[in-house]
Each structure stands twice: as C-alpha cells, then as structure tokens.
C-alpha cells in the first residue's frame, strides 16, 4: 500500500515537473510572446474599429447633406421635390435637406447649374425627374459623384412611401382614431418553451432576452473551443515532433513514462491556451469598456444573469472533454512524425474534423433541431461543438446530454489508450512517416 | 548475483530477428563492452535493457528484480545521437531531466555545477545547446546521463565527436563511475577504448553472439600470428622458413605474419644465427583484428 502511494507521488511529481517545464518554456519562447502580442494588438484595433472609422469621417455623419433640384412650377417633379423638401424639414435631426434652384427653361442649362453647385461643394448630390410612373410619382434619379451611395436613394424612397401613404390616407376620410390605429406598432414576441433543462416547472419559458444571450454565449463557446483546439493541437503535435526530431525523446522516455509525459504536455498546453485566450478576452473587454466605446456596449445589452446554470456546467464539461479528446489525438499524431516538415500532412485529418464540427455548429445555429445536429450531437469528435448548441437553444431532455457526454467519455478513454500506444511506438520509430500498417506491426513487435 | 543480468533475450521485428539469444552479466563496478557492426543488434539490446521495448523471450533482471518504472531513476542513458533541446538553456533542461529522475531542483543544480566544473566548461551553464560546439554538446549529453548518479549506465558511442583531449577526460570519468560501483554497458566502434575500459565483451554479428568473454581470454584464444623483429644487420633467408607467410618491411624492422605460434621460435633462432637482435616480439592480436576477423570473415 505504501509503495503504491509512493509510486503515485512520484508519478504526480513527474507530471508536475513536465507541466511546469512545458508552460515555462512556452511562456518564455519568443515566437509565442510575439504572436500573442500581435494578436492582442489586432484585437484592440478591431474592437475600436467603429470608433476609428467614425473619427476618420471627421464627424461627417453629423453633417447635413444638401440635395439640389430644379424648381419648375409646372413639372410634376417639382411638386414631388417640394413634398420631399417639406418632409425632410419636418423630420427632426434629418441629415438630408433639399434646396431648390430656379429653372432657366433649358434642361441642359439647368443641369449645368446643379453640376456647378455640386462641384463647388454646395451640393452633395442632386435630383432629376423622369416620366410619371404608376406609383403616383415621377421616376426619381439621384445623381452623385459618389458611386453606389445607397443611403440617399433609400432615404428618398422611404420618404416617398410615407408621403404617398399620408396622401392616400388624407383623401380616404378616416377619423384620427382610425389613423392612429393604423399606425400603432404591432407587437410579436417569440417565447421558447423550456423543457427539463432547468428542472424548474414554474417558470418554463425562455425569454427572448435569455435566448439572445444564450445564442451569444454559444457562438462564443464554439469559437472558443475551436480556437483552443486549433492552437493547442498544433502546438502539442509540434512539441512532440520537435522532441522526437531533436532526439531528446530518447532521453525523456528513459526518465519518465510516456503516458505521464504525454499528459503533462497536454495539461501544460491547456494552461497555456487558457492563459492566451484569457488575455485575448481581457484585452477585448478592456477595450470595449473604454469610455468612447460605452455606447456600443450599451447597445449590446448583455445580461449574463439570465443564463441557465446548467448550460454553463454543460459548456465547461464539453469544453474540457472536447479539448482533451482532440489534444490526445494530436499528441499521438505528433509522435509518429520524426521531422517537423511532415507534421502538416499528419495532422491534416484532425484539422478537417475540427473544422467540420465547428462549421456544423456555426451554420446550424438557426436550425438547432435539424436531424444533422441531432445526429452530430452524439458523434464524439463533433459533439463538443454541436451538443452545446442543442443544449442552449432547444428543449432537449437532460438524459440525452448525458448519453452524449457518456459516449464522449468512453471515446476519450479509448483515445487515451490508443494514443498512448501510438505515442510509445511512435517515439521509437524514426525515418519516414510510418503507414498505419507499419505502425501496427511495430506496436506488436514492441509488445506495447 | 550480479546487478545486471541479461538472460538469453530474443527480439523479433516482424520478419527480421534483431537479437537472438544474447546473454551476459555485468557486475558492480564493471564496464561491459557491447560490440558489433552497424545493425548487429546493439541498439536493440540496449533498448531492451532500458525497458523501452520488451524482449520476446528471455528476461533482464536488475538487482534480481524484473523491470519496473521505479528503475527509471536508477538508469542513465547516453544515446548514440545527441538528444537535447536545442533552444533551451543547458541549466534548465538538465535540471528538468534530473528532476524527472527524482532529484530536487537544488540537488540537481549542485550536481550540474559540479559536472560542468569537472568538464572544464562552467560557462556553458546558461548557454543554449544550439550555441555549443559538438564536443561541448556531447559533454552536456554525458552529464544528462550521469547527473543523478545512477546505478546502471548505458552508453551508446560515448566518445564520438570528441577530440583526443576530451576523450581522455571522459574516459577518466567513466573509469571513476566504474570505481564508484556503477554497472556500465558500453558500446563503441573504437577497439582501443574497449581494450582500455572493458573487462568483458560480447561481439554481436547479425543478431547473434559470435565472441564473448573476458578481453584477455578472448585474445589468448586467438593465435599469435605476428612477429616483430629488429636486428643490427640484415637477416637473410627468412622467406624460406616454413610457416612464414608474408614479410612487411617497416622503417625500423620487420613485421612477419606466421602460420602458427611455434614458427616464432624458428624465426628467432634463424635471426640470432645471423645478427644481434635489438627487438623481438610475438604480437598479440589486437581486438580490432579479432573483430574484423570474426565479423568480416562471416560476412563473406
């Protein structure tokens, strides 16, 4: 009994030593530090991008844009333009205003007048009117030097809609009350019925706010898991290959059992990825909370208190399990390659699988109850991405989550046994990348 | 019972036998030489002793007990190819390796400093391995094998890549480890090192033992087939003596290959009759010659 305890202590000591060594070396490595800092800078820029863009427009968004037109008493276009002018004057804070120019009677001269005004900056764009259409208005042509500037034509179109509506309504002889009734907003609220997830029967509805937050969290979780897997998977595999190609592996396996060293490395990388991602998130949050971004933050209106605690627990479990499943497989793949150049092709299948899981989840976020999602939420390598979607957005029986978790745990166990074998065999094999058959032969030969 | 017993081990890889029936014992304070051409099975034998792979048949016992993970702390391994982290400081990686062998960081640091001092390279303590010369890397590799003062040391080509001065330094160290009671298994292609260091040897050829035993006995079993003769005047008619095969004329004397040992006395008598003799020696075969004969001839 005592010797068993001693052994456990010595294994844990070695495990701790490997974890510490992995973490310290990674944190001190220049490429790691530089790439992290670069990424932090990119995040800072992206978060502040809306503000920066606004600054570059030089407050232009507040400036009133003037649109010219020709006032020619008889033409139908002039009536329409006058109506628009009145409409935009009536709207408070409108950024558009119309300005009339007297007609000279000659179309070409009129256009020249407008164009001159445009060129000297008096006008932003100008209107011309074509044939009368069925809409009751003549065809409106917006001329501007700026290409594809939809916002002006959209605003004019919207204004004309309202003008026409009020014209028609005014002629219909409806009472004021009837007019108000017509214009009163219609309220539609989507309420999702909650199932056994929370176990609370009393309040069985997921409010729209809660669903919105859930969706945001799920987006976040899926991307977080995906990044963790991609970053650390590559790092783990390349660390293992580097140890093999520098032959330090031969010394290592005579010092520490392969299993301990593999899990030490995986755990070390897990900590590294957490540190890295946490610093990304911290910097993003810091930037968002800067005073000039306060408006944006309010617009998001995040209230984390509405999140179901079960969802958080499931999310943590799936994150941990998903991470370790991918990490062990990446370690195994890294161990069969003896040169870093061959690593890319060896880990390709894992990269595709994680990409597939990620995209299935992201593209199904609007249809979380499709058959594809239901099936994938039980397939081990996909379930960490997909099940979280179902758990957060649909009414799913808790037992189904546990079945999927159970499948995942069994798979992890098998993957650990399998990866440990490959690892033990792989680290002794040098030369070209062995085929699966060669690997199996070697496993048998080494009696692993 | 000897600390390390390799008992009739057999290792088969798929369609090829790597080691077939190798058997030897290493006592306390002994360096055992494992010799053989490339691919003869030395590395596989060493890997089995290290517990990296298990023998198909036979067994290896350490202090009378079979292999267990406990043993890792008691084994030091110097691999044939250098195996160190190129971008990590010497101190960091050696302390790491020593910690994995169960040492405390403090003891490991002390031991590392002692060894660096011993090898006259204390300035390497905080250098990265990739900055070091090949010989210095080899010293660091050597330290990584012995820093934790192991009972069993496996050395695969310990002195490759070193200049003669450093070879002497490491040789002296290996002898000291032996005198402190370590059991050392040693492989090399340099026969003069074997003659100097090893008490017993095994020569492997194509997975089998071809020669085994004490270096002295092995040599005495091989017939002495060379005579060195240095005389004042020239000796004539040696070619006509029965049993003389070839005569090589060197700057200071003659090297004569003979068919059997007793021909030597005929040569001496013949020479005495013609001249005063300055030097006469019946030469022992060198291990090099024994190796080439036992491995080379079977190659044909």
Chain B residues with CB-CB distance to A18 below 8 A: 100
CB contact set of B158 (below 8 Å; sequence gap of 6+) = B78, B142, B170, B174, B186, B188
Helix%, strand%, coil% for chain A, nearest 5? 70, 5, 25
Domain with CATH 3.40.50.300 in chain B: 4-219
d(CA B116, CA B127) in angstroms, rounded, equals 12
Chain B: residue nearest A427 by CA? Answer: B52
| Chain B residues in contact with chain A using a Cβ-Cβ cutoff of 8 Å | 12-14, 47, 50-54, 56, 69-70, 72, 75, 77, 79, 81-88, 92-93, 96-97, 99-102, 144-145
Q: Cα distance from B102 to chain A (closest Cα, Å)?
A: 8
Chain A: residue nearest B51 by CA? Answer: A254
Interface probe, candidates B85, B89, B98, chain A, greatest A C-beta count within 10 A: B85
pLDDT of residue B126: 92
Q: Do A246 and B69 touch (CB under 8 A)?
A: no
Question: Of A407, A408, A413, A416, which Cα lies nearest the Cα of A331?
Answer: A416
Please name the residue that has the structure tokens 């009739």: B8
Q: Are strands A125-132 and A65-71 parallel, antiparallel or unpaired?
A: parallel
Buried b (16+ CB within 10 A) or exposed e, A365-400: eeebeeeebbebbbbbbbbbbbbbbbbbbbebeeeb
Q: Which two tokens stand for residue A306?
A: 């509405």
Q: Do B100 and A7 touch (CB under 8 A)?
A: no
pLDDT of residue B298: 54
| Phi and psi based region of residue B161 (left: phi greater than 0; alpha: psi -120 to 50; beta: remaining) | left
In this prediction, residue B122 has a pLDDT band, given cuts at 50, 70 and 90, of very high
* Spatial contact of B140 and B94, defined as CB atoms under 8 Å apart: yes
Please name the residue that has the structure tokens 């960490």: A384
Q: Do A248 and B47 touch (CB under 8 A)?
A: no
Please name the residue that has the structure tokens 């300055």: B278
pLDDT of residue B249: 86
CB contact set of A256 (below 8 Å; sequence gap of 6+) = A14, A17, A18, A264, B72, B100
Please name the residue that has the structure tokens 């010799």: B35
CATH number assigned to the domain covering B4-219? 3.40.50.300
d(CA A297, CA A301) in angstroms, rounded, equals 7
**Reported pTM:** 0.74
DSSP code at position B295 = I
Q: Cα distance from A441 to chain B (closest Cα, Å)?
A: 7
Q: Which two tokens stand for residue A265?
A: 């490395």
Terminal Cα-to-Cα distance of chain B (whole angstroms): 40
Q: How far is CA B151 from the centre of its chain?
A: 18
Q: Find the helix or strand (DSSP H, E) in which A228 lies.
A: helix A208-245
pLDDT of residue A201: 40
Tens-digit pLDDT string for chain A (448 aa): 557 777 788 788 889 999 999 999 889 888 889 989 999 999 888 888 878 877 776 544 556 778 888 877 667 777 888 888 888 887 777 777 888 888 777 778 888 888 888 888 778 888 888 777 877 788 888 887 766 567 777 888 888 888 888 888 878 777 778 878 877 777 777 666 654 444 444 444 556 666 777 788 888 888 888 988 888 898 899 988 888 888 888 888 888 888 888 889 999 999 998 998 899 989 988 888 877 777 666 656 566 666 778 888 888 899 899 999 999 999 988 888 888 888 888 899 899 999 999 999 988 888 888 889 889 988 988 999 998 888 888 878 888 889 999 999 999 999 888 888 888 777 777 655 667 777 777 776 665 5
DSSP string covering A185-202: PP-----EEP-TTS--SS
Averaged confidence pLDDT in chain B = 87
d(CA B12, CA B289) in angstroms, rounded, equals 30
pLDDT of residue A267: 93
CB contact set of A57 (below 8 Å; sequence gap of 6+) = none
Q: Cα distance from B72 to chain A (closest Cα, Å)?
A: 5
Count how many residues are written for chain A.
448
Q: Which two tokens stand for residue A145?
A: 């030097």
Q: Do A247 and B82 touch (CB under 8 A)?
A: yes
Buried b (16+ CB within 10 A) or exposed e, A198-235: eeeeeeeebeeebbbbbbebbeebbebbbebbbbbbbb
Q: Which two tokens stand for residue B152?
A: 């069993």
* pLDDT tens per residue across span A40-99: 999 888 888 878 877 776 544 556 778 888 877 667 777 888 888 888 887 777 777 888
Residue that wins the pLDDT comparison between B116 and A58: B116
Chain B residues with CB-CB distance to A24 below 8 A: 92
* pLDDT tens per residue across span A1-35: 557 777 788 788 889 999 999 999 889 888 889 98
Q: Find the helix or strand (DSSP H, E) in which B112 lies.
A: helix B105-118
Q: Cα distance from A349 to chain B (closest Cα, Å)?
A: 28
pLDDT of residue B189: 82
Q: Do B84 and A25 touch (CB under 8 A)?
A: no
Q: Which two tokens stand for residue B89?
A: 């400081």
DSSP code at position A306 = G
Q: Find the helix or strand (DSSP H, E) in which B20 lies.
A: strand B16-26
In this prediction, residues B70-74 reach a mean pLDDT of 86
**Is B184 a residue whose pLDDT tops 50?**
yes
Chain B residues with CB-CB distance to A445 below 8 A: 12-14, 53
β-sheet with B226-231: strand ranges across: B244-249, B254-258, B226-231, B277-283
Q: Do B70 and A256 touch (CB under 8 A)?
A: no
Chain A residues with CB-CB distance to B56 below 8 A: 447
Q: Cα distance from B80 to chain A (closest Cα, Å)?
A: 10
Q: Which two tokens stand for residue B40?
A: 């003869």
Question: Of A337, A347, A404, which Cα lies nearest the Cα of A232?
Answer: A347
Question: 29-48 in A: which are within 8 Å (CB) of B?
Answer: 29
- Of the given ranges (A113-122, B122-131, B160-169), which has the lowest mean pLDDT? A113-122
Q: Cα distance from B194 to chain A (closest Cα, Å)?
A: 24
pLDDT of residue A63: 66
Q: Cα distance from B101 to chain A (closest Cα, Å)?
A: 6
Q: How many contacts, defined by CB atoms under 8 Å, are there between A and B?
A: 74
Q: Cα distance from A231 to chain B (closest Cα, Å)?
A: 21
Q: Please name the member of B54, B79, B145 whose beta carbon is closest to the beta carbon of A447.
A: B54
Question: Of A331, A312, A309, A315, which Cα lies nearest the Cα of A385?
Answer: A315
Chain A: residue nearest B11 by CA? Answer: A445
Q: How far is CA B47 from the centre of its chain?
A: 17
d(CA A127, CA A142) in angstroms, rounded, equals 5
Q: Cα distance from B87 to chain A (closest Cα, Å)?
A: 9
Chain B residues with CB-CB distance to A447 below 8 A: 53-54, 56
In chain A, the domains with their CATH numbers are 64-169 (3.40.190), 200-446 (no CATH)
Chain B residues with CB-CB distance to A254 below 8 A: 50-52, 72, 75, 77
Chain A: residue nearest B46 by CA? Answer: A254
In this prediction, residues B82-111 reach a mean pLDDT of 92
Q: Which two tokens stand for residue B104?
A: 């405390």
Q: Do B77 and A29 touch (CB under 8 A)?
A: no
pLDDT of residue A194: 53
pLDDT of residue B128: 93
Long-range contacts of A301-310 (CB under 8 A, 24+ apart): A301/A209, A302/A213, A302/A216, A303/A209, A303/A213, A304/A213, A306/A207, A306/A209, A306/A210, A306/A213, A307/A210, A307/A213, A307/A214, A307/A217, A308/A197, A308/A198, A308/A210, A308/A214, A308/A392, A310/A197, A310/A198, A310/A391, A310/A398
Chain B: residue nearest A14 by CA? Answer: B100
Angle formed by the axes of helices A436-446 and A398-426, nearest 10°: 70
Q: How far is CA B241 from CA B52, B225, B255, B264, B266, in A?
A: 57, 15, 15, 10, 8
Interface probe, candidates B80, B83, B156, chain A, greatest A C-beta count within 10 A: B83
What ipTM was estimated for this complex? Answer: 0.78
Chain A residues with CB-CB distance to B99 below 8 A: 13, 17
> Domain B223-284's class?
alpha beta
pLDDT of residue A203: 45
Residue that wins the pLDDT comparison between A447 and B8: B8
Dihedral over alpha carbons A372, A378, A381, A385 (to 10 degrees): 70
In this prediction, residues B191-214 reach a mean pLDDT of 88
Q: How far is CA A382 from the centre of its chain?
A: 18
Chain B: residue nearest A246 by CA? Answer: B83
Dihedral over alpha carbons A24, A28, A31, A32 (to 10 degrees): 50
Q: Do B83 and A249 touch (CB under 8 A)?
A: yes
Q: Do B72 and A255 touch (CB under 8 A)?
A: yes
* pLDDT tens per residue across span B19-57: 888 999 999 999 999 988 888 888 889 988 988 888 888
Q: Please name the member of A24, A251, A444 whose beta carbon is closest to the beta carbon of B83.
A: A251
Contact A23/B at CB under 8 A: no
* CA-derived radius of gyration, chain B: 23
d(CA A336, CA A433) in angstroms, rounded, equals 6
Domain with CATH 3.30.70 in chain B: 223-284
Q: Please name the member of B13, B52, B96 whose beta carbon is closest to the beta carbon of A17.
A: B96
Chain B: residue nearest A9 by CA? Answer: B102
Q: Find the helix or strand (DSSP H, E) in which A65 lies.
A: strand A65-71
pLDDT of residue A200: 42
Mapped onto helix, strand or coil, the DSSP state of residue B256 is strand
């Amino acid at each position: 009994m005592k010797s068993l305890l001693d052994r456990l202590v010595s294994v844990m000591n070695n495990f701790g030593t490997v974890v510490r060594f992995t973490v310290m070396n990674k944190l001190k490595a220049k490429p790691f530090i530089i790439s992290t800092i670069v990424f932090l800078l990119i995040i800072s820029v992206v978060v502040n991008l809306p503000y920066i863009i606004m600054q570059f427009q030089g407050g232009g968004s507040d400036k009133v844009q003037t649109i010219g037109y020709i006032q020619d008493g008889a033409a139908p276009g002039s009536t329409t333009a006058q109506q628009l002018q009145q409409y935009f004057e009536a709207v408070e804070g409108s950024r558009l205003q119309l300005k009339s120019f007297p007609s000279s009677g000659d179309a070409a001269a009129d256009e020249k007048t407008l164009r001159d005004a445009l060129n000297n900056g008096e006008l932003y764009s100008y209107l011309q009117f074509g044939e009368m259409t069925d809409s009751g208005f003549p065809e409106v042509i917006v001329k501007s030097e700026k290409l594809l500037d939809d916002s002006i034509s959209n605003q004019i179109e919207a204004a004309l809609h309202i003008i026409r509506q009020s014209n028609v309504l005014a002629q219909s002889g409806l009472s004021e009350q009837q007019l108000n009734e017509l214009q009163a907003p219609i309220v539609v609220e989507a309420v999702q019925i909650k199932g056994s997830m929370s176990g609370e029967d009393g309040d069985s509805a997921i409010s729209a706010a809660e669903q919105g937050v859930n969706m945001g969290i799920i987006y976040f979780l899926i991307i977080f898991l995906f990044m963790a897997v991609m970053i650390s998977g590559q790092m783990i595999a390349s660390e293992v290959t580097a140890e093999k190609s520098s032959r330090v592996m031969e010394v290592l396996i005579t010092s520490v059992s392969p299993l301990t060293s593999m899990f030490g490395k995986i755990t070390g990388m897990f900590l590294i990825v957490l540190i890295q991602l946490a610093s990304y998130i911290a910097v993003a949050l810091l930037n968002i909370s800067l005073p000039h971004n306060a408006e944006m933050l309010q617009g998001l209106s995040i209230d984390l208190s509405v999140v179901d605690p079960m969802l958080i627990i499931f999310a943590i479990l799936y994150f941990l399990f998903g991470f370790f499943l991918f990490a062990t497989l990446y370690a195994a793949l890294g161990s069969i390659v003896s040169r870093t150049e061959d690593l890319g092709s060896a880990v390709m299948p894992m990269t595709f699988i994680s990409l597939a899981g990620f995209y299935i989840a992201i593209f199904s976020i609007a249809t979380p109850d499709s058959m594809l999602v239901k099936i994938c939420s039980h397939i081990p390598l996909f379930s960490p991405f997909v099940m979280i979607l179902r758990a957060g957005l649909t009414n799913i029986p808790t037992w189904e989550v546990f079945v999927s978790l159970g499948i995942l745990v069994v798979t992890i166990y098998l993957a650990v046994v399998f990866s440990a074998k490959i690892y033990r065999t792989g680290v002794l094999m040098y030369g070209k990348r062995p085929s699966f058959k060669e690997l199996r032969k070697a496993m048998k030969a080494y009696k692993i | 019972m000897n600390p390390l017993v390799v008992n009739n081990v057999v290792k088969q890889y798929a369609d090829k036998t790597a080691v077939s029936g190798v058997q030897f014992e290493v006592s306390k304070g002994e360096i055992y030489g494992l010799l053989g051409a490339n691919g003869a099975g030395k590395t596989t034998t060493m890997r089995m002793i290290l517990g990296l792979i298990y023998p198909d048949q036979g067994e290896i016992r350490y202090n009378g007990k079979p292999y267990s993970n406990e043993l890792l702390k008691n084994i030091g391994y110097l691999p044939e190819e250098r195996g160190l982290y190129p971008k990590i400081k010497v101190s960091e990686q050696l302390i790491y390796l020593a910690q994995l062998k169960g040492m405390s960081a403090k003891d490991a640091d002390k031991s590392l400093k002692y060894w660096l001092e011993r090898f006259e390279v204390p300035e390497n303590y905080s250098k990265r391995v990739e900055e070091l010369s090949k010989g210095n890397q080899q010293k660091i590799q050597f330290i990584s094998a012995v820093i934790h003062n192991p009972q069993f040391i496996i050395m695969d080509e310990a002195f490759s890549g070193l200049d003669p001065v450093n070879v002497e330094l490491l040789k002296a160290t290996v002898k000291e480890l032996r005198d402190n009671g370590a059991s050392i298994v040693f492989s090399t292609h340099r026969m003069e090192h074997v003659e100097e260091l090893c008490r017993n040897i095994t020569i492997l050829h194509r997975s089998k033992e071809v020669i085994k035993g004490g270096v002295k006995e092995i040599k005495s079993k091989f017939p002495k087939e060379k005579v060195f003769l240095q005389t004042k005047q020239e000796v004539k008619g040696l070619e006509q003596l029965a049993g003389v095969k070839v005569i090589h004329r060197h700057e200071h004397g003659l090297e004569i290959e003979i068919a059997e040992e007793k021909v030597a006395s005929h040569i001496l008598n013949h020479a005495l009759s013609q001249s005063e003799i300055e030097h006469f020696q019946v030469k022992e075969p060198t291990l090099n010659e024994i190796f080439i004969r036992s491995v080379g001839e079977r190659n044909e």
